[in-house]
Structure 1
Amino acid sequence: EQEQEQEQEQEQEQSEPTLPDVNNATTEPEPNSLSPEPTGAELLLAENNGKQQQNEIRVWLQDALSRQLVYPPYARRRGWEGSLEVSVEMQPNGDFTVVILTPATRSIFTDAALATLAQINANNDYCCIEETTRLTLTIEFQLN
């Protein structure tokens, strides 16, 4: 009987997978294939794509502003000029939010710019960017 038990134990040991000795392991861990570290070239490409995306959004917004921004008649009659700086955060679906970084010295310009940006956002035809993008834009009101 003892011989049979020993044979069964030996057979069982042979059929069980052997586990590596983690205390004396010399092999390097396998890299995580699900989220590899980006290389320098990949980071540079992502940065360039982000800048290109920013530029495309900037051109689109400036074009929309040039077509829709109305110089406030009251300011025009008085010969006023002004500018403001805004931060625009564009979502992948095309919706965007605006934050005033530097308001115009006359609130009439800030109000006109924000109203126009809200109108552009409501009738937005810009869509499908890769990731949320933030850019700074200066809006100027200058008389010709």
Structure 2
Amino acid sequence: MIDASVALLSHDYTHRFLRDVMGIRGLIVIGVGKAGERGFQMLYRFSDICDRLEECGINVIFVYQKESARHVQDATSRFGARYRQKPCLFLDDDGQFFRGPPHPKSLRVEYLDRVMRRLATVEIPLRDETWDPLLRNFLVEVVAGSMH
């Protein structure tokens, strides 16, 4: 669960709320647990499917816990976020966004509609390389569902 009323710190050090980064058809929030991949790695790995989602009006953001600041505020990750030309990497700077943070080495993914109703949720462990196709399949299903 997430608290949509909490402001998140973006890669350019501004505070934003979920409504500020919402796409015209929704938002996918990917909460990255401790010891998850760095921001630039997530942006690079999923740039193709994130582009497809954005074309459908669904924005995707990656949110890291406060303790993972070095994973999202490093120079390479900030450059990658600027390259995407929209806020997509965030830090839970106050430590209040996650109600029960994602487990270490895991992802918590929530798909929200425009009025912040949760449409789908998935927890994905990052223990082995099966996590990439699991997240990708979830995102592809959202793309397919948005076309109907």
Length-normalised TM-score, structure 2: 0.29
Structure in which a larger fraction of residues adopt strand: 2
Task: Name which structure has the greater RCO, CA cutoff 8 Å, separation 6+.
Answer: 2
TM-score (norm 1): 0.29
